């Protein structure tokens, strides 16, 4: 989150208007309806971190996943603003301690023992809920089960398509989309994933990586014959996206 805690619904269209490159928006997205909303705001796709933590393939401990399924959107905490490094985390005992100390004017040195990444890693990997601060967005309120990545992505796509068709019918259009793109790649710790959806690109999702076809000739065929691609960085996505537009 930003220091000012400005919502995604405001930041996304502002960013789309301000830049001339593809915009991937994150913050509060947990299902296909959010994906459709992001596309309607002009983004090329969404970044989902919290939702993909609660998948079977995620390396997050089962205790954390179960906590997420039971959690509400109000079970998160906004911390570290006092040191200008804001973060939204699970509301556990450690996060509440941090908030109390920040309210009293604690320094970075005083906060470090509580916000140490080593403590957070212990919580994530060993399942000690209160061991450290664990990044977790308000989208946790949309997390109700622990599916496989493939099941979740298929659900996101189908829900987004239904939402887009519904919006099309509402405004008198035909609804639907021209194609789909879903790119999934792990974060450095292989805990969260990014999901990207775009009608202008030539990729879609399958449970295991196969091959990516980037020529214009194959664009339409991939709508009905999904393949997948794992990108190591955003620069690769931009390069592939530009190739498709040439």
Q: Which two tokens stand for residue 121?
A: 């890693």
Alpha-helix residue ranges (DSSP H) falling in the chain: 8-18, 32-40, 50-53, 62-70, 93-103, 108-115, 117-126, 149-170, 216-219, 221-224, 234-245
Stretch among 49-53, 76-80, 116-120, 187-191 having the lowest mean pLDDT: 187-191
pLDDT digits (tens, 9 = 90+) for 9-40: 999 999 999 999 999 999 999 999 999 999 99
Q: Render pLDDT for 137-188 as a digit per residue (tens, 0 to 9).
A: 999 999 999 999 999 999 999 999 999 998 888 766 544 444 444 444 333 3
Average pLDDT, the chain: 78
Helix (H) or strand (E) holding 79: strand 76-79
237 or 170, greater pLDDT: 170
Dihedral pair phi/psi, residue 86, rounded to 5°:
-60, 145
The pLDDT of residue 242 is: 46
Contact residues for 222 (Cβ-Cβ < 8 A; gap 6+): 179, 202, 203, 204, 213
- Whether the predicted pLDDT of 198 surpasses 90: no
- Whole-model pTM: value is 0.70
Phi-psi region of 127 (alpha: psi -120 to 50; beta: other; left: phi over 0): left
Q: What is the pLDDT of residue 170?
A: 74
- Would you say residue 216 has pLDDT above 70? no
Residue 23 and residue 104 in contact, taking contact as beta carbons nearer than 8 Å: no
Q: How confident is the model at residue 1 (pLDDT cuts 50, 70, 90)?
A: low
Q: How confident is the model at residue 208 (pLDDT cuts 50, 70, 90)?
A: very low
Per the structure block, which two tokens stand in for 104? 């009293």
pLDDT score at 181: 43
C-alpha 246/C-alpha 97 separation (Å) is 53
Collapsing DSSP states into helix, strand and coil, what is residue 183?
strand
Whether residue 195 is predicted with pLDDT greater than 60 in this model: the reply is no
């Amino acid at each position: 989150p930003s220091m000012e805690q400005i919502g995604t619904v405001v930041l996304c269209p502002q960013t789309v208007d301000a830049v001339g490159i593809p915009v991937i928006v994150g913050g509060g997205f947990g299902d296909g309806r959010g994906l459709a909303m992001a596309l309607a705001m002009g983004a090329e796709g969404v970044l989902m971190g919290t939702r993909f933590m609660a998948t079977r393939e995620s390396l997050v401990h089962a205790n954390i996943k179960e906590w997420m399924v039971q959690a509400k959107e109000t079970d998160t905490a906004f911390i570290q603003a006092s040191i200008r490094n804001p973060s939204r985390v699970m509301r556990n005992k450690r996060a509440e301690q941090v908030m109390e100390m920040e309210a009293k004017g604690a320094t970075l040195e005083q906060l470090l023992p509580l916000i140490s990444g080593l403590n957070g890693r212990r919580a994530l990997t060993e399942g000690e809920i209160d061991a450290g601060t664990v990044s977790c967005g308000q989208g946790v309120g949309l997390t109700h089960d622990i599916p496989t990545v493939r099941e979740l992505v298929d659900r996101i796509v189908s829900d987004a398509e239904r939402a887009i068709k519904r919006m099309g019918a509402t405004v008198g259009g035909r609804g639907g989309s021209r194609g789909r793109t879903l790119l999934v790649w792990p974060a450095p710790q292989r805990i969260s994933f990014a999901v990207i959806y775009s009608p202008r690109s030539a990729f879609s999702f399958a449970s295991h990586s196969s091959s990516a076809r980037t020529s214009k000739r194959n664009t339409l065929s991939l709508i009905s014959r999904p393949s997948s691609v794992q990108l190591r960085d955003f620069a690769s996505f931009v390069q592939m996206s530009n190739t498709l537009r040439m």
